[in-house]
A and B are shown apart, each in its own frame.
Chain A
Amino acid sequence: MDTRIRELRKAQKVTQDELAEAVGVTRQTIISLENGKYNASLILAHKLAQFFQTTIEEIFIFNMEEENL
């Protein structure tokens, strides 16, 4: 799934390490999320939304065609 994590992170001048520490995951997970290689759980999505003070929909780009909807 495509995300706007990198864009939001850079806008707020936050490093991958700082973001990882804030949401309680490893830096590798943040890298995988930014590259769209790993889909976050609902809990992690909420934590990220809280960190960036936005909604989950603003962070994660849901592709209807990819999901066959």
Chain B
Amino acid sequence: MSGNFCLKKYSSDKEYAKLMKKRAAISLLLVVFGIVTLAISLYCRHKGLLSISDFRQGVFAGIGTGLALFGLILFFICISIIKNESKLKAARIYESDERNIAITTESISIATVVLLISMYVVFVLSIFMEIDIIIAIAIFVLLFVLTTIISAKINSHRM
């Protein structure tokens, strides 16, 4: 279970089992999205509908396959946890463990700083390339700043 995102405490196995059922449903959705992505890519390639390069079509197909496989693996993990009581309890304790929650929070904050620095570097380099990249990065940064401000306001009322 190492590598799981631990962000919330679950006081009972019943509550955690409900979360696992939700995760299983979401993982099936990922499988569907993956298959749809792969199908669109293969259909367009077959019919020659999209005037994009082979490389881009390959990336599209790769994302679809990866998403479907990831969803399928996640689904089987969730089901195996739901069906086994001792596994369910161990998974709940691992995910609700306050030290693991602290580790996840710290890791996310470090990753956020790295992400913002990387985006800045791409932003600077993209001046020599395409304007679309600059616009996309600007939108992402704006979205990030807005989300941070709004969630800080909401959390300051909750705590």
| Interface residues, chain A, with chain B CB atoms under 8 Å away | 20-21, 24-26, 28-29, 32, 38, 40-41, 43-44
Q: B96-111 interface mask toward A, CB cutoff 8 Å, 1 = contact, 0 = none? A: 1111101000000000
Q: Chain A residues near B96 (CB, 8 Å)?
A: 24
Q: Roughly how many angstroms separate A26 CA and B96 CA in the complex, as a whole number?
A: 9
B93 is an interface residue with CB less than 8 A from chain A: yes
Question: When the two chains form their complex, are residues A26 and B94 in contact, meaning their CB atoms are under 8 A apart?
Answer: yes
Question: When the two chains form their complex, are residues B99 and A38 in contact, meaning their CB atoms are under 8 A apart?
Answer: yes
Question: When the two chains form their complex, are residues A26 and B102 in contact, meaning their CB atoms are under 8 A apart?
Answer: no
Q: Chain B residues near A32 (CB, 8 Å)?
A: 99
B side interface size, CB within 8 A: 8
Question: When the two chains form their complex, are residues B102 and A25 in contact, meaning their CB atoms are under 8 A apart?
Answer: no
Q: Roughly how many angstroms separate A26 CA and B100 CA in the complex, as a whole number?
A: 9
Q: Roughly how many angstroms separate A32 CA and B102 CA in the complex, as a whole number?
A: 13
Q: Chain A residues near B100 (CB, 8 Å)?
A: 26, 29
Dominant secondary structure of chain B at its interface with chain A: helix
Q: Roughly how many angstroms separate A25 CA and B98 CA in the complex, as a whole number?
A: 7
15 contacts between A and B (CB under 8 A): A24-B93, A24-B96, A25-B97, A25-B98, A25-B99, A26-B93, A26-B100, A29-B97, A29-B99, A29-B100, A32-B99, A38-B99, A38-B102, A40-B98, A43-B98
3 closest pairs, A vs B, by CB? Answer: A29-B99, A26-B97, A25-B97
Q: Roughly how many angstroms separate A37 CA and B98 CA in the complex, as a whole number?
A: 14
Q: Roughly how many angstroms separate A31 CA and B96 CA in the complex, as a whole number?
A: 17
Nearest opposing residue in chain B for A20, CB measure: B93
Nearest opposing residue in chain B for A33, CB measure: B99
Q: Chain B residues near A38 (CB, 8 Å)?
A: 99, 102
Nearest opposing residue in chain B for A25, CB measure: B97
Q: Chain B residues near A43 (CB, 8 Å)?
A: 98
Q: Roughly how many angstroms separate A29 CA and B93 CA in the complex, as a whole number?
A: 11
Q: Roughly how many angstroms separate A21 CA and B93 CA in the complex, as a whole number?
A: 8
Q: Roughly how many angstroms separate A43 CA and B99 CA in the complex, as a whole number?
A: 13
Q: Chain B residues near A41 (CB, 8 Å)?
A: 98
Nearest opposing residue in chain B for A32, CB measure: B99
Q: Chain A residues near B98 (CB, 8 Å)?
A: 25, 29, 40-41, 43-44
